[in-house]
């Protein structure tokens, strides 16, 4: 389930995109005199969850996505709600630390495990792989890109490469120019 590194994909997604664009937002605020806490309640549309929820959900879907395949149950902690921007940055750093505690062998050992997810009256039956690929991973990206979009609409100068993070190419396999 994991290719290379310590829980490679999730750690890279947090460190190289979510943490990167949060850091860029903080830097932009410092340069412009804007208040980073103004992002906390920001939304793209009135009927969408605010920025703080997007960051919490992205964090939960990576850490608790792996915990779910480990335990067989998706049981993330309760949402903390609106907190200062610095706390959201700390939440992502904490998720990175939690992910680094998993080893590839440990995670790969959960392959093929059954996992049932109860959402209201619906019970969804997954394997660990189908849960990660069709539930947690898409949810992680949805919430991460929504947080990114909120920052963009609030004037933070971000681009596609800020979301993509560092490309992981084959050693010696990339040549530009």
Q: pTM (2 decimals)?
A: 0.85
* Residue (of 7, 145, 144) closest to 65 by Cα position: 7
Q: How confident is the chain (177 residues) per 10-residue block, as mean pLDDT?
A: 48 69 95 96 96 94 88 84 94 89 88 87 90 91 94 93 71 55
What superfamily would CATH give domain 8-101+111-164? dinb family like domain (1.20.120.450)
**Which tens digit of pLDDT belongs to each residue from 9-44?**
555 455 668 888 899 999 999 999 999 999 999 999
Please tell me the distance from the alpha carbon of residue 136 to that of residue 123, in angstroms, as a whole number: 16
User: Domain-by-domain residue ranges, the chain?
Assistant: 8-101+111-164
Residue 122 token pair? 């619906």
How high is the pLDDT of residue 104? 85
User: Hunting for tokens 């790969």 — which residue is that?
Assistant: 108
Q: Could you tell me whether strands 122-127 and 114-119 are parallel, antiparallel, or unpaired per DSSP bridges?
A: antiparallel
Residue 164 token pair? 């993509």
């Amino acid at each position: 389930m994991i290719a290379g590194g310590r829980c490679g994909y999730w750690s890279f997604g947090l460190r190289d995109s979510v943490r990167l664009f949060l850091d860029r937002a903080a830097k932009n605020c410092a340069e412009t005199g804007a208040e980073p806490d103004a992002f906390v309640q920001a939304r793209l549309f009135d009927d969408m969850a605010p920025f703080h929820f997007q960051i919490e959900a992205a964090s939960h879907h990576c850490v608790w996505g792996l915990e779910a395949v480990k335990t067989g149950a998706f049981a993330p902690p309760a949402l903390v709600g609106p907190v200062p921007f610095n706390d959201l940055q700390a939440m992502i750093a904490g998720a990175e630390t939690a992910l680094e505690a998993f080893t590839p062998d440990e995670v790969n050992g959960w392959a093929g495990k059954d996992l049932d997810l109860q959402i209201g009256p619906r019970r969804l039956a997954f394997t660990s792989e189908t849960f990660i690929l069709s539930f947690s991973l898409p949810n992680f990206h949805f919430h991460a890109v929504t947080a990114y979009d909120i920052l963009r609409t609030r004037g933070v100068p971000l681009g596609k490469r800020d979301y993509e993070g560092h490309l992981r190419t084959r050693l010696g396999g990339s040549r530009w120019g």
